[in-house]
Structure 1
């Protein structure tokens, strides 16, 4: 075209880049709150987050100075086409589901970032134009990613698909010398160009250990249930003081008086009280700074901060403050009790900011972990998302959380919807979650529960309409753990630290996997709310049941299947070594152990394998470590089924000794004998009241009888083969 018009650019009809002041994104795509941040073509930085309607989206921005000088404008032109125009459906048909006609904001940014990696590789090879790249160059780049870089299969897939997209966009929107040749994997498929397949993704995310998750959840619940009222009262007092400062500083200069400030300072000196100023660090590692003290004094006296600074420069006050520094005590009473004692001394003006941040973090931990929601789904929740259930007062209350899901949210054409879709089935909330939500609602007032402008007032022009980000929450969890462990050490609360995993961050992305792990294995006593895990399987699964694509359902299946496979593998190994099994289901257990070994070998790596294992009724075997037995689950014979809703797993907290599903191994018998000896030792110590000692002896006798019965009835592989 000889005439370059805005209409031509808007329709993608020209092969030249637009003017430097031309909008990068379609103005209709840009969030209302981010209009002022929308980039122009020539800008050195393009913030992609301005077109994302996901409130928890990260602040993705492309800095063009990272591209090599000779290639920068070629890739900028391609990136502008990617940002502006959808691909024709013919490309999607040819390239498959990976080639969407229009990408999400984050995926567009990631694609340009993938092009950056390719551009840097081209520059090292001395290739100055995209159109000069040959098929051999592309094959070399593929080998570089797979062999030299050793990247994971999923990462290589993303990078190669990114080049397929560069080919598609450059062929349609760029001049000939800047068009990428068609990569060979477009025609032949990706598989031959990728590393060997392995089980990756969310299923391979390491769960958080019981010791760590237990401590984290216990302290989060303490903040929400025991400390929250004190923190909120102190926060409100701080806000009252700040409002007094704002009011004082809004008055005309002629109306400002120093008298209230002088009277306050004179009274402090007369009574010998400390003057709020910089002081030593408290148990959290926080320091009272001069600026905070200035604001605090200004709020107490209704005086502008500049006036406070001016008056405090007087030699009389400077010398007194140096000799008598003190904290900025808000004076709000501390009513929360921890083990019969106040959990904290007087809260200070500066410290309450940290405590408030930890309170919000605690709410996030509780909601995220105890619902199984994805991080973005939690951060996207709004005030009013969990209404009180309707119905007669005597009816059981079942709270449901209504919100949006973002993963896999697509329109009718298969394109990503950045603002997500309203979830058809609500997440079921247990009381602890409801309490955390109500607390956040009281703080936020309206809008998002984790609104960035409410919980972090930095850069308001960029954060309007957005929530705290995933990375921010991950950092806040780390700070929360540090505060708790400092608090525990300072207050002599031995054994209450949050244990840290060496080299592992407590990333909130790990919570879903951890919840599934704990529900499947239910480590009694090591994690707060352990008694509820048996019920939470039904609760959480029911909350996700209407949408099979929700990963928590798959994670529950995967963890349950892994638990079963590991246990049956241990049983098989013990039987091979000549050990025995007793109980009504002994022969079934032996057969199950053999069947699992032949089919899975103790390893369940994928959700497909998990479903196959759980679908086999002969492999539904669950160990009850507290009762020292194994349940060979058969619903028709299960005594734990009586009086409860039907379930796909046994209720291990209701095991009965007469159940036909029970089997015991030699290891269980050894554990029973050891526990019996321990009970007798306690009973004979003389340290317990006689009624308690008698109960312990009776329990020990019951254990002894079970051991005797096991030894009399046990069968081995050899016994089974003889019959």
Structure 2
């Protein structure tokens, strides 16, 4: 590159390129780990991997210019070079945009793909230079994009790639300069793309509570109960025993001596069922080689062993000499670990560890995948003796430089994630399972291919596939142990993928009774209001997730409540009128609308809309801080809680309302109690207590149906 451009230049000048120049001008932007020579301008394929600083990027990042129309290859190289080396002059846009001026490597590759589509279309129209593009050409291409069936956002991305080509015009020769795209006029943009249907709602479906609960139980079980045995088996397999008496013998001689010994003893040898032939038990020659002190590389060249072992029956199991210490139901979880199962069990263990860390910390998937050895630090308070586990790592979303562009390597998180013991155990397990890896979750931990890059983190798609394997294994083990109630049910919204863990945690907190208490337990906090302060959202990185999830949960509940009121639902209790007024107020202000961030904040802050369903106590709480008996210190407290403590609901509280829906739950509880009373095995004291409970619940029903009859 003969750079006639300076980053500090006020007047851009045309780019002049030499085929021998590297494609990256600023060598300080190259990742420290990159040792390969840089691509040159004259190369047909440009490799952008040197710009990658994150270990979470899997796969190649390159652009093949042979796929561009020949007449446009020169300008295509100029545009990509500018994306790599120069910020886009976004100030030339006459409309606000959140698009960054400096694209990431992945975005450059996507941009090049959009530009290739544009250039290929132009070439098909007989246009071979940008100076031949007119407004009519733009309009025809818009029709082409609209006919593609893409969503509004995808169409906008394809068109903005052309806008970026126009913005780079000052750096290009006249023949490669575009006129201003007509869709950059506000009215024309709406005409081309339509109104934006953006919503702040997180559309990622949460994992079903039954699926997530069972999956978490098994994942923790893997890390705490099974891990020691699996790690021991992996270490044993990787270190064949030394047989001094076999020193000096070739591999074939060792196999021959072993076969002769088996002929004179059991006439059997270890066997296994290969994945390619599950109906045929084959000779376990790799395990036999391991027993004889041979590595895999010594065994594979031997080829067929039928002439050596042909008269021996492969009925023995290839079990490693590892003592099983983990249990289920006070029984060993397995009779022994098979030589050929070690790698699969290691992958399942790594998957379980990832699930524990990702779900119980609430960190984003990329943040979890980028964790490095030594990230977990345990401290003990000398005064209280309390143990704290802190996870240190990098964040990528929102990690920006002074120009507002993404930092390629992210930035170290200011506040470490606070974690509980199972998370610390999961990290410890991964560091023990892969002691030579700098990453906690390396790619090779999740794939059977030995050539996997040890410097790269696992890909989200691989976590998805291995999670499916883990669920299948756990369900088979539950069946084996007669614990079908611990089976992991299929999720109705599809596969369990990485990005759903974070959403599931936030969904659970605001949609399950006791969710806030459960969050405190999960994160090792004792205070039920942990979601309101430092203890959860700041320390766990969920501050941006909870407010919207809280508003969405409230909106869903109040929307359904409005429908029931319109259908004639009865409401009783001291707060009945406040319930009706609050539901109708919600319907007038928010009913049937998408919630923006501002509307969500307004809903959360409106005291008249603080209506909570407490199905455990069969009540609906129309929360008024001044009347809340669940907070007995409210008169003396400097800070009054913004939400009720549903674990301390008082039956005489003035915030209570009861709806027909609550009464349906009461009737179901009475029916369940009667079924328990009818059981011939129920103890008499428990039967008496259940009868008292039925009487108490029946009074609730009677009062609801006849509120005026209460004395």
Give the TM-score normalised by structure 1. Answer: 0.85
Q: Secondary structure at the match of 2:238?
A: helix
Structure 1 residue 374 corresponds to structure 2 residue 374: no
Structure 1 residue 274: deviation in Å?
4.1
Q: Secondary structure at the match of 1:482?
A: helix
Structure 1 residue 407: deviation in Å?
0.8
**Whole-angstrom CA distance in 2 between matches of 1:595 and 1:305:** 72
Structure 1 residue 6: deviation in Å?
4.2
Equivalent pair of 2:388/2:419 in contact (CA under 8 Å): yes
Equivalent pair of 2:531/2:537 in contact (CA under 8 Å): no
2:530 match = 538
One of 644, 647, 652 as aligned partner of 1:650 = 644
**Whole-angstrom CA distance in 2 between matches of 1:95 and 1:142:** 20
Structure 1 residues 678 and 350: alpha-carbon distance in aligned structure 2, compared to 1, 3 A threshold: same
**Whole-angstrom CA distance in 2 between matches of 1:619 and 1:474:** 39
Structure 1 residue 331 corresponds to structure 2 residue 329: no
**Whole-angstrom CA distance in 2 between matches of 1:87 and 1:578:** 60
Aligned counterparts, 1:266-345, within 5 A: 266-272=260-266, 274-279=268-273, 293-303=284-294, 308=299, 317-321=308-312, 323-345=313-335
Equivalent pair of 2:13/2:171 in contact (CA under 8 Å): yes
Aligned counterparts, 1:530-679, within 5 A: 538=530, 542=534, 545=537, 552-601=542-591, 603=593, 605-642=595-632, 647-679=641-673
Structure 1 residue 429 corresponds to structure 2 residue 419: yes
Structure 1 residue 613: deviation in Å?
0.8
Structure 1 residues 320 and 607: alpha-carbon distance in aligned structure 2, compared to 1, 3 A threshold: farther
One of 676, 681, 687 as aligned partner of 1:682 = 676
2:468 match = 478
Structure 1 residue 258: deviation in Å?
5.7
Equivalent pair of 2:58/2:456 in contact (CA under 8 Å): no
One of 684, 694, 710 as aligned partner of 1:700 = 694
**Whole-angstrom CA distance in 2 between matches of 1:622 and 1:661:** 10
CA displacement 1:577-609 (0-9 Å, x = unmatched): 333212222221111111111111265533332
626-635 vs 120-129, which moves further = 120-129
1:359 match = 349
**Whole-angstrom CA distance in 1 between matches of 2:557 and 2:153:** 31
2:704 match = 710
2:121 match = 121
Q: Secondary structure at the match of 1:702?
A: helix
**Whole-angstrom CA distance in 1 between matches of 2:42 and 2:20:** 4
**Whole-angstrom CA distance in 1 between matches of 2:632 and 2:263:** 75
1:721 match = none
1:71 match = 72
Q: Secondary structure at the match of 2:30?
A: coil
Q: Secondary structure at the match of 1:591?
A: helix
Structure 1 residue 649: deviation in Å?
2.7
One of 433, 441, 465 as aligned partner of 1:443 = 433
Name the Cα RMSD after superposition: 3.8
2:36 match = 36
2:104 match = 104
2:193 match = 194
Structure 1 residues 314 and 227: alpha-carbon distance in aligned structure 2, compared to 1, 3 A threshold: closer
Equivalent pair of 2:346/2:445 in contact (CA under 8 Å): no
Structure 1 residue 377: deviation in Å?
0.8
Equivalent pair of 1:248/1:302 in contact (CA under 8 Å): no
Structure 1 residue 417: deviation in Å?
0.2
406-415 vs 302-311, which moves further = 302-311
Structure 1 residue 619: deviation in Å?
0.3
**Whole-angstrom CA distance in 2 between matches of 1:31 and 1:393:** 44
1:203 match = 202
Equivalent pair of 1:368/1:375 in contact (CA under 8 Å): yes
CA displacement 1:52-100 (0-9 Å, x = unmatched): 2122124333344443444344323321232233345754x75645453
Structure 1 residue 564: deviation in Å?
2.1
Structure 1 residues 319 and 530: alpha-carbon distance in aligned structure 2, compared to 1, 3 A threshold: farther
Q: Secondary structure at the match of 2:57?
A: coil
Equivalent pair of 2:467/2:496 in contact (CA under 8 Å): yes
**Whole-angstrom CA distance in 1 between matches of 2:201 and 2:255:** 59
Structure 1 residues 570 and 46: alpha-carbon distance in aligned structure 2, compared to 1, 3 A threshold: same
**Whole-angstrom CA distance in 2 between matches of 1:653 and 1:67:** 65
Equivalent pair of 1:383/1:449 in contact (CA under 8 Å): yes
Equivalent pair of 2:350/2:445 in contact (CA under 8 Å): no
Structure 1 residue 217 corresponds to structure 2 residue 216: yes
Q: Secondary structure at the match of 2:110?
A: helix
Structure 1 residues 303 and 573: alpha-carbon distance in aligned structure 2, compared to 1, 3 A threshold: closer
Structure 1 residues 261 and 410: alpha-carbon distance in aligned structure 2, compared to 1, 3 A threshold: same
186-195 vs 658-667, which moves further = 186-195
Structure 1 residue 568: deviation in Å?
2.5
Structure 1 residues 710 and 314: alpha-carbon distance in aligned structure 2, compared to 1, 3 A threshold: closer
1:177 match = 175
197-206 vs 350-359, which moves further = 197-206
**Whole-angstrom CA distance in 1 between matches of 2:607 and 2:250:** 82
CA displacement 1:244-286 (0-9 Å, x = unmatched): 79x999x9xx774766544433333333264344426699x89
Equivalent pair of 1:624/1:630 in contact (CA under 8 Å): yes
**Whole-angstrom CA distance in 1 between matches of 2:355 and 2:343:** 19
Q: Secondary structure at the match of 1:658?
A: coil
Equivalent pair of 1:37/1:50 in contact (CA under 8 Å): no
**Whole-angstrom CA distance in 1 between matches of 2:117 and 2:532:** 41
Structure 1 residue 19: deviation in Å?
1.0
Equivalent pair of 1:20/1:42 in contact (CA under 8 Å): yes
Equivalent pair of 1:78/1:173 in contact (CA under 8 Å): no
**Whole-angstrom CA distance in 2 between matches of 1:304 and 1:396:** 47
Structure 1 residues 405 and 530: alpha-carbon distance in aligned structure 2, compared to 1, 3 A threshold: closer
1:347 match = 337
Q: Indicate the structure with greater helix content.
A: 1
**Whole-angstrom CA distance in 1 between matches of 2:156 and 2:245:** 60
Equivalent pair of 2:199/2:594 in contact (CA under 8 Å): no
One of 486, 492, 506 as aligned partner of 2:496 = 506
209-218 vs 587-596, which moves further = 209-218
Q: Secondary structure at the match of 2:534?
A: helix
Structure 1 residue 134: deviation in Å?
1.8
Which sections of structure 2, spanning at least 5 residues, go unmatched? none
**Whole-angstrom CA distance in 1 between matches of 2:210 and 2:372:** 32
Structure 1 residue 46 corresponds to structure 2 residue 38: no
CA displacement 1:496-552 (0-9 Å, x = unmatched): 433334572322112222211111112689x9989759978725963675599x6x4
Equivalent pair of 1:226/1:337 in contact (CA under 8 Å): yes
Structure 1 residue 131: deviation in Å?
3.0
CA displacement 1:5-36 (0-9 Å, x = unmatched): 64558989654543167445644322233332
**Whole-angstrom CA distance in 1 between matches of 2:339 and 2:21:** 47
